[in-house]
């Protein structure tokens, strides 16, 4: 072997070691090494592109992609771990005023134990609101016997201008049905309480009721009352009131046509006042309904125009 060839092999091997130890600097982007060899003095230089070799240089190409070893087999999947213990759901119940919550609140129970969310203390009493605008009362005038009422009666004109007639019964056929009620308690958040009832034969009636709601405490609970005719609540007879300390009189009147007869009841209900978050403002007590009376006057016809 000639001296030049030996020198070339040694130099090429050294250059190869340099390239392997510093591949980032020596290799091109595609993993190929380009070397220009001077055929006169066998000197070598690394170039990024074989086109950079000069006329007296020969290009040598090494493909480093061929140096990669075979890809190993994928390992087996490990065993599935045991399922964890299910967590405990949070339960929520209301609690009355007591040691845990002075003003009552909620008790939340989770895996760590019981936690309390308490209601705040009742706020100071607000200022009295401005008086509301008085509502327009219906106008009731006598109606002479004629086309609207054969035996005469009443003409009722409401705030919208609508006219209704409440007519007298025929001579000799008019009877007054009346019932008085005993003192009855209306409990909070319970089904509507019957205050009084009239059992009426077939006919047309003008039914009225009046009573007094009585509260013995300083707060002002809310109550609604309305007629129920043959087990159907009459939304037109709906009245609502704020019951202050002492007596609050109320009353309502409606006309009913009962071709088969039936019952007309006065029903009242008291609900717990709630704030904007749906929480009770206070715990209401029973309201007493006293001096209640219901009466029905038969009329010959009920004309609604």
Asked if the model's pLDDT at residue 2 lies above 80, the reply is no
Rounded-to-integer distance, Cα 121 and Cα 63, Å? 84
C-alpha pair distances (Å), 256 with each of 164, 245, 280, 304: 13, 34, 38, 11
Asked if the model's pLDDT at residue 186 lies above 70, the reply is yes
C-alpha pair distances (Å), 297 with each of 74, 203, 290: 97, 10, 23
Asked if the model's pLDDT at residue 171 lies above 60, the reply is no
Tokens of 84: 């964890």
pLDDT band of residue 160 (cuts 50, 70, 90) is: confident
3-state secondary structure of 52: helix
Rounded-to-integer distance, Cα 297 and Cα 302, Å? 12
Rounded-to-integer distance, Cα 114 and Cα 150, Å? 74
Domains with residue ranges and CATH for the chain? 3-66 (no CATH), 90-119 (no CATH), 139-274+281-304 (2.60.120.760)
pLDDT digits (tens, 9 = 90+) for 238-250: 898 888 888 889 9
Q: Are 60 and 66 in contact (CB under 8 A)?
A: no
What average pLDDT does this structure show over 192-221? 89
Rounded-to-integer distance, Cα 30 and Cα 250, Å? 98
Asked if the model's pLDDT at residue 72 lies above 50, the reply is yes
Lowest-confidence segment of 7-11, 30-34, 158-162 by average pLDDT: 7-11
Give pLDDT, residue 137. 73
pLDDT digits (tens, 9 = 90+) for 224-234: 999 999 999 99
Give pLDDT, residue 234. 92
Give pLDDT, residue 204. 92
Residues near 158 by Cβ (< 8 Å), separated by ≥ 6?
136, 138, 164
- DSSP state string for 164-205: EEEEPPPTT----EEEE---EEE-BTSSPEEEEEEEE-SEEE
pTM, 2 dp? 0.43
Give pLDDT, residue 64. 66
Give pLDDT, residue 258. 93
pLDDT digits (tens, 9 = 90+) for 83-137: 777 777 778 788 889 888 988 888 878 878 888 888 888 888 878 878 877 767 7
In this structure, the number of other CB atoms found within 10 A of the CB of residue 181 comes to: 18
pLDDT band of residue 79 (cuts 50, 70, 90) is: confident
Rounded-to-integer distance, Cα 124 and Cα 46, Å? 91
Asked if the model's pLDDT at residue 80 lies above 70, the reply is yes
Mean pLDDT rounded to a whole number for the chain: 80
């Amino acid at each position: 072997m000639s001296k030049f060839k030996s020198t070339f092999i040694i130099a090429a091997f050294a250059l190869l070691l340099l390239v392997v130890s510093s591949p980032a600097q020596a290799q091109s982007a595609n993993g190929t090494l380009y070397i220009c060899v001077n055929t006169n003095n066998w000197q070598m230089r690394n170039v990024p592109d074989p086109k950079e070799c000069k006329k007296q240089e020969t290009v040598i190409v090494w493909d480093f992609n061929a140096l990669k070893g075979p890809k190993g087999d994928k390992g087996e999947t490990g065993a599935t771990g045991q399922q964890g213990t299910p967590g405990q759901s949070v339960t929520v119940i209301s609690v009355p005023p007591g040691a845990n919550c002075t003003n009552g609140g909620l008790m939340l129970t989770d895996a760590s134990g019981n936690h309390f969310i308490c209601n705040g203390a009742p706020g100071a009493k607000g200022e009295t609101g401005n008086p509301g605008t008085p509502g327009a009362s219906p106008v009731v005038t006598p109606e002479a016997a004629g086309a609207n009422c054969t035996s005469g009666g009443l003409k009722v004109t409401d705030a919208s201008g609508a006219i209704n007639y409440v007519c007298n019964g025929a001579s000799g056929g008019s009877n007054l049905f009346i019932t008085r009620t005993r003192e009855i308690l209306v409990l909070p958040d319970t089904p509507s309480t019957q205050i009084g009832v009239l059992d009426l034969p077939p006919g047309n009636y003008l039914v009225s009721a009046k009573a007094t709601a009585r509260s013995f405490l300083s707060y002002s609970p809310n109550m609604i009352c309305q007629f129920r005719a043959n087990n159907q609540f009459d939304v037109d007879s709906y009245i609502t009131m704020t019951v202050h300390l002492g007596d609050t009189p109320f009353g309502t009147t409606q006309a009913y046509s009962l071709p088969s007869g039936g019952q007309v009841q006065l029903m009242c209900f008291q609900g717990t006042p709630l704030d904007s978050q749906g929480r009770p403002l206070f715990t209401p007590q029973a309201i007493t309904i006293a001096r209640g009376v219901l009466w029905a006057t038969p009329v010959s016809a009920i004309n609604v125009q």
